[in-house]
Amino acid sequence: MIPEQELLTKWRSLPPDKQEEVLDFVEFLRLKNSANKTPLGERLWQIRTRIVASGKNLLNEDEIEQELANRRGGIQGREVL
C-alpha cells in the first residue's frame, strides 16, 4: 500500500474528533514548511514542479550558463575586471 492510501485508511478508522486533530496537524506542518520560503521561492518551486511533471529535463549548471550567454548576446564566461 502506498503511503497516501495507508494514511487515508488509518485516518478513516479514527473518530471524527481525532480526524480533525490530524487535519490540524497536517495544516500546521504545511504552514511550518512554507513559512521559511519567500514568495519568489514558492513561485520558482511551482515552475520547477510543472517542468518536472511535463517530462522535460532540468538544465544542469553548464546548460544554464550557456542559456544565459545566448540570451545576453552570446558572450560566454565571466568578465574579468
pLDDT tens per residue, the chain (81 residues)? 788 999 999 999 999 999 988 988 888 888 777 766 788 877 887 898 898 889 888 888 899 899 888 888 876 555 544
pLDDT at position 6, please? 93
> What cell numbers appear for 11 in the block?
485516518
pLDDT for 29: 83
Angle 3-12/16-35 helices, nearest 10 degrees? 140
pLDDT at 16: 92
pLDDT number for residue 76: 58
**Spatial contact of 19 and 11, defined as CB atoms under 8 Å apart:** yes
pLDDT, residue 75, reads 63
